[in-house]
Amino acid sequence: MHGFSYQNGSLHCEGVDLSVLAAEHGTPLYVYSSATILDHYRRLDAALTGVCHEVAYAVKANSNLSILRLLAAEGAGFDIVSGGELFRVIQAGGDPGRCTFAGVGKTREEIVYALEQGIYSFNVESEEELCYLNQVAGDLGKIAPVAVRVNPNVDAKTHKYISTGKSENKFGVDFGAVAGVYERASRDLPHLRLRGLQMHIGSQLTSIAPFIEAVEKITPLAQELKDRHGIEFWSIGGGIGIIYQESLASGSADWWAGQAEQDRPLSIAQYGRELTPRLKELGLKILMEPGRLIVGNAGVLLTRCLYEKKGSAKTFKIVDAGMNDLIRPALYEGHHEIVPLRQPTSDARTTVDVVGPICESGDFFCQNRELPDFHPGDCIALMSAGAYGFAMASNYNSRPLPAEILVEGSLARVIRKRQSRDDLIAGEL
């Protein structure tokens, strides 16, 4: 489900006209639907009914305080990857005691901060890190709760930059070495508490098969660690893919309903249906770390067309958003649907490249795509930009970061002001 549809010829987010928001707040502009975020969170939570579980939202996907607050109020835990993300969760009223801290390169300062805040678990990515954590915890007279991240060597069949569960990836400890690491930790590292086990095989997975393969491969290890070391949780990571090529015409995620089950993209229901019976018997608390699934389809990036440039080979629509605002097409060949805010009145389409103002040839949102016609002055929406959109935005080319708006029904709230030129140089000497 997502909260974007045409109403009276104009694209709306829930009950709010996006053209009005673009006129009032300027472009580029991120707009999020709170109903979509809550719907995805609740459906995932419900899909695991029958297994003791917790949803730890992966903050990296979208770390705006208002979104964290929305999810904290809903009962979410949080998966963090830096001291900065922990700070954000705390500022948003989230419970550090429900935070898991992932990442291959935690610094001493971050470890100390997380220990002082009493996080639920450090998800440790190497034996070296485990030893260092033990040392820092000892220095502070504390016990660090830990889970080792197992690298199951499973092919997630996703873009190579967001695949994490293969042996050649930098993440986690090799499957065959994990049991020995727990043995050594329980014997030699007294400032640790072995609390769980973690895995995450990649992001934007569009089939259930790699999840099943990984869960089936790791289950005996999880059982062994529970029996020998009394671990209480197993985090099966995030990675559930979303549909980027969703048709707006239907206004819902059910547009593939006519297709055979095996041809449909991964759904929350299928994820729950396939994994719940495989996880139930273990008696461990199951953590999930979804990021994209919760916020991806819930956000759009609005941008205005500045120029139309007809070259000898191509027609370029030059818009006021750039790869600094949404880097996914440039970095991962990510596809984002592009729709005009004014509903097209004819079926006419032209083949265009939609490009930004940045001085790089990789600065495009689509190439050779057939789109309904739009002209300089018109606004378009880059769909499904709620995850890894603003979170990966930068000031490249000295462009201020866009504003962000959260919609709830017919109410639109600015949840982050557009940066000013002064903001751009703040902190520079």
**Interacting residues with ligand LLP (CB under 6 A):** 58, 61, 79, 102, 162, 164, 200, 203-204, 237-240, 289-293, 328, 332, 387-388
Could you tell me what percentage of the chain is helix, strand and coil, using 3-state DSSP and rounding each to the nearest 5? Answer: 35, 25, 40
- Smaller CB distance to ligand LLP: residue 37 or 58? 58
Cβ(178)–Cβ(221) under 8 Å?
Answer: yes
Q: Least distance to ligand LLP from the beta carbon of 378, Å?
A: 27
Min separation Cβ 85 and ligand LLP, Å: 12
For the chain, state the CA radius of gyration: 23
Q: How far is the CB of 151 from ligand LLP (least distance, A)?
A: 11
Between 96 and 237, CB nearer to ligand LLP: 237
Query: In terms of CB distance, is 148 or 412 closer to ligand LLP?
Result: 148
Extract the tokens encoding 286: 């199951």
Classify residue 331 as exposed, middle or buried by CB count within 10 Å of its CB (0-12, 13-18, 19+): middle
CB of 243 to ligand LLP, least distance (A): 14
Least spacing, CB of residue 142 vs ligand LLP, in Å: 24
Rounded CA separation 33/41 (Å): 13
Which listed residue (13, 359, 366, 379) is catalytic? 359
Burial label, 93 (beta-carbon count in 10 A; 0-12, 13-18, 19+)? exposed
359 is catalytic: yes
Q: Under DSSP, is residue 295 helix (H, G, I), strand (E, B) or coil? A: helix
Give the separation between CA 102 and CA 124, rounded to whole angstroms.
Answer: 7
Instruction: Pull the structure tokens for residue 394.
Output: 């930068």
Cβ contacts of residue 108 below 8 Å, gap of 6+?
A: 132, 136
N- to C-terminal Cα separation, the chain:
47
Q: How many CB atoms lie within 10 A of CB 370?
A: 10
**Cβ 23 to ligand LLP, closest distance in Å?**
29
Min separation Cβ 51 and ligand LLP, Å? 18
Nearest of 370, 367, 376, 375 to residue 350 by alpha carbon: 370
Distance of CA 41 to the CA centre of its chain: 12
Task: List b or e across 35-74, with b for residues whose CB sees 16 or more CB atoms inside 10 angstroms.
Answer: bbbbbbbebbbebbeebebbbbbbbbbbbbbbbbbbbbee
CA angle 238, 243, 244 (to 5 degrees): 110
> Alpha-carbon distance 225 to 148, whole Å?
11
Q: Tell me which residues are annotated as active site.
A: 359
